[in-house]
Amino acid sequence: MMRAAISLAAAACMTQAAVASELGDVERGERLFAKCRSCHQVGEGAKNRTGPQLNNLFGRRAGTAEGYSFSKAFERAGSKGLEWHAETLDTYLENPKALVPGTRMTFAGFDAPQDRADVIAYLRGFSASPANYPGADPTARQTDHDVDPAILALEGDPEYGEYLSSECKTCHQTSGADKGIPPIVHLPRDTFVAAMHAYKDKARKHPVMNMLAGRLGNEEIAALAAYFATLED
Amino acid sequence: MTFDRRTFLGMGTAAVAALSAPAVLGQGKPRVIVVGGGAGGATAARYLAKDSNGAIDVRLIEPTRTYFTCFFSNLYIGGLKTVSDLGHTYGKLASDYGVNVVHDWVIGVDRDKKAVTLAGGATLAYDKLILSPGIDFVEGSVPGWGLAAQNAMPHAYKGGSQTELLKAQVMAMREGGTFVMVAPPNPYRCPPGPYERVSMVAHQFKAHNPKAKIVIVDPKEKYSKQALFEEGWQKYYGGMIERLGPDFGAEKVTVDPDEMTVDVDGEIIKADVCNVIPAQKAGRVAELAGVTDGDWAPVHPTDMSSRADPDIYVLGDACHQGDMPKSGFSANSQAKVCANAVRGALTGSKVFPAKFTNTCWSLIEENDGVKVGATYEATSDKIAKVDGFISHTGEDTALRKATYEESEGWYAGMTADMFG
Sign for the pseudo-dihedral over CA of A75, A184, B85, B405: negative
Q: Quick one: closest CA in A to B343, which residue?
A: A163
**pLDDT for the residue A22:** 60
Distance CA B149, CA B256 (A): 9
**Comparison of pLDDT for A131 and B297, the residue scoring more:** B297
Question: Where residue B245 sits, what CATH number does that domain have?
Answer: 3.50.50.60
B385 burial via Cβ count (<10 Å: 0-12, 13-18, 19+): middle
| Residue A95 reports pLDDT greater than 60 | yes
Do B250 and B292 belong to one domain?
Answer: no
**DSSP states along B396-412:** -HHHHHHHHHHHHHHHH
Confidence band (pLDDT; 50, 70, 90) for A113? Answer: confident
Do B273 and B335 belong to one domain?
Answer: no
User: For residue A154, how many C-alpha atoms fall within 13 Å in the half-sphere facing its CB?
Assistant: 26
Cβ–Cβ contact A163 with B under 8 A: yes
| Residue A10 reports pLDDT greater than 80 | no
Any idea what DSSP says for residue B266? Answer: T
Residue B292, helix vs strand vs coil: coil
Q: Is residue B187 part of a domain?
A: yes
Distance CA B30, CA B187 (A): 35
Q: Is residue B18 part of a domain?
A: no
Q: Which of A148, A176, A158 is nearest to A229 (CA)?
A: A158
> In chain B, how many domains are there?
2
Do B223 and B151 belong to one domain?
Answer: yes
For an interface test with A, give the residue of B340, B400, B410 to mutate (most A CBs within 10 A). B410
**Comparison of pLDDT for B30 and A91, the residue scoring more:** B30
Q: Is residue B98 part of a domain?
A: yes
| Residue A78 reports pLDDT greater than 70 | yes
Do B323 and B255 belong to one domain?
Answer: no
Question: Which of these three, B294, B329, B352, is where a domain ends?
Answer: B352
Count chain A–chain B contacts defined by CB atoms under 8 A: 95
Distance to chain B for A1, nearest Cα, Å: 13
Q: Which residues pair with B359 in a beta bridge?
A: B373
Helix H or strand E segment including B10: helix B5-11
Do B274 and B198 belong to one domain?
Answer: yes
**pLDDT for the residue A121:** 86
Cβ–Cβ contact A148 with B under 8 A: no
**pLDDT for the residue A145:** 58
User: In b/e form, how buried is each residue of A88-117, taking b as 16+ CB within 10 angstroms?
Assistant: bbbbbbbebeebbeebebeeebbeebbbbb
User: Phi/psi of residue B32, each to 5°?
Assistant: -120, 130
Distances in whole angstroms, Cα of residue B142 to Cα of each of B137, B149, B165, B270, B287: 10, 11, 20, 16, 21
Q: A204 near A198, Cβ under 8 Å? A: yes
Do B146 and B268 belong to one domain?
Answer: yes
Sign for the pseudo-dihedral over CA of B341, B343, B349, B355: negative
List, in order, residues 6 or more apart from B137 with CB less than 8 Å away.
Answer: B147, B155, B278, B279, B280, B281
Q: Is residue B69 part of a domain?
A: yes
Confidence band (pLDDT; 50, 70, 90) for A147? Answer: confident
Q: Is residue B410 part of a domain?
A: no
**pLDDT for the residue B20:** 44
Residues of chain B found within 8 Å of residue A218, distances taken between Cβ atoms: 1, 3
Distance CA B162, CA B167 (A): 9
Distance CA B319, CA B27 (A): 31
Cβ–Cβ contact A206 with B under 8 A: no
**pLDDT for the residue A232:** 59
ipTM value: 0.83
Q: Is residue B417 part of a domain?
A: no
Question: Which of these three, B247, B278, B309, is where a domain ends?
Answer: B278
Q: Quick one: closest CA in A to B401, which residue?
A: A180
List, in order, residues 6 or more apart from A37 with CB less than 8 Å away.
Answer: none
Strands (E), B207-298: 213-217, 241-244, 253-256, 261-264, 267-270, 273-276, 280-282, 297-298
User: Phi/psi of residue A194, each to 5°?
Assistant: -65, -40
**pLDDT for the residue A44:** 86
Do B165 and B79 belong to one domain?
Answer: no
CB contact under 8 A, B412 and A219: no
Do B71 and B175 belong to one domain?
Answer: no
Residues of chain A found within 8 Å of residue B51, distances taken between Cβ atoms: 162
pLDDT (tens, 9 = 90+) of chain B, 420 residues, equals 344 443 343 344 444 444 444 444 446 899 999 999 999 999 999 999 999 999 999 999 999 999 999 999 999 999 999 999 999 999 999 999 999 999 999 999 999 999 999 999 999 999 999 999 999 999 999 999 999 999 999 999 998 999 999 999 999 999 999 999 999 999 999 999 999 999 999 999 999 999 999 999 999 999 999 999 999 999 999 999 999 999 999 999 999 999 999 999 999 999 999 999 999 999 999 999 999 999 999 999 999 999 999 999 999 999 999 999 999 999 999 999 999 999 999 999 999 999 999 999 999 999 999 999 999 999 999 999 999 999 999 999 989 999 999 999 999 999 999 999
Distances in whole angstroms, Cα of residue B57 to Cα of each of B156, B338, B346: 35, 16, 11
Q: Which of B309, B306, B310 is nearest to B320 (CA)?
A: B306
Residues of chain B found within 8 Å of residue A162, distances taken between Cβ atoms: 51
Do B132 and B197 belong to one domain?
Answer: no
**pLDDT for the residue B23:** 47
Residues of chain A found within 8 Å of residue B371, distances taken between Cβ atoms: 207-208
Cβ–Cβ contact A177 with B under 8 A: yes
Angle at A95 between CA A89 and CA A99, to 5 degrees: 65
Averaged pLDDT, A150-164: 92
Q: Where in chain A is the domain with CATH 1.10.760.10?
A: 4-132, 146-230
Do B285 and B274 belong to one domain?
Answer: no
Angle between helices A207-214 and A189-200 (to 10 degrees): 100
List, in order, residues 6 or more apart from A153 with CB less than 8 Å away.
Answer: none
Amino acid at B67: Y
The fold of A146-230 is Cytochrome Bc1 Complex; Chain D, domain 2 (1.10.760)
The pLDDT > 70 percentage for chain A reads 81
Do B247 and B172 belong to one domain?
Answer: yes
Residue A230, helix vs strand vs coil: helix
User: For residue A206, how many C-alpha atoms fall within 13 Å in the half-sphere facing its CB?
Assistant: 16
Which residues in chain B (314-373) have CB-CB distances under 8 A to chain A? 329, 332-333, 336, 340, 350, 352, 355, 357, 359, 371, 373
Q: Is residue B146 part of a domain?
A: yes
Question: Which of these three, B278, B312, B329, is where a domain ends?
Answer: B278
Distance to chain B for A172, nearest Cα, Å: 6
Distance CA B365, CA B362 (A): 9
Nearest to A215 among B3, B386, B391 (CB): B386
**pLDDT for the residue A80:** 82
Nearest to B350 among A150, A159, A218 (CB): A159
For an interface test with A, give the residue of B51, B228, B349, B417 to mutate (most A CBs within 10 A). B417
Domain span holding position B238: 142-278
Distance CA B34, CA B43 (A): 10
Confidence band (pLDDT; 50, 70, 90) for A176? Answer: confident
CB contact under 8 A, A180 and B410: yes
Do B146 and B179 belong to one domain?
Answer: yes
Largest CA distance in chain B: 72
Angle between helices A218-230 and A189-200 (to 10 degrees): 150
Q: In what order do the strands lie in the sheet with B178-182?
A: B241-244, B213-217, B178-182, B273-276
**pLDDT for the residue B408:** 95
Which residues in chain A (57-96) have CB-CB distances under 8 A to chain B? none
For the domain covering A4-132, report its CATH number.
Answer: 1.10.760.10
Q: Quick one: closest CA in B to A221, which residue?
A: B3
Instruction: Say which range, A129-138, A204-213, B110-119, B142-151, has the weakest mean pLDDT.
Output: A129-138
Cβ–Cβ contact B417 with A under 8 A: yes
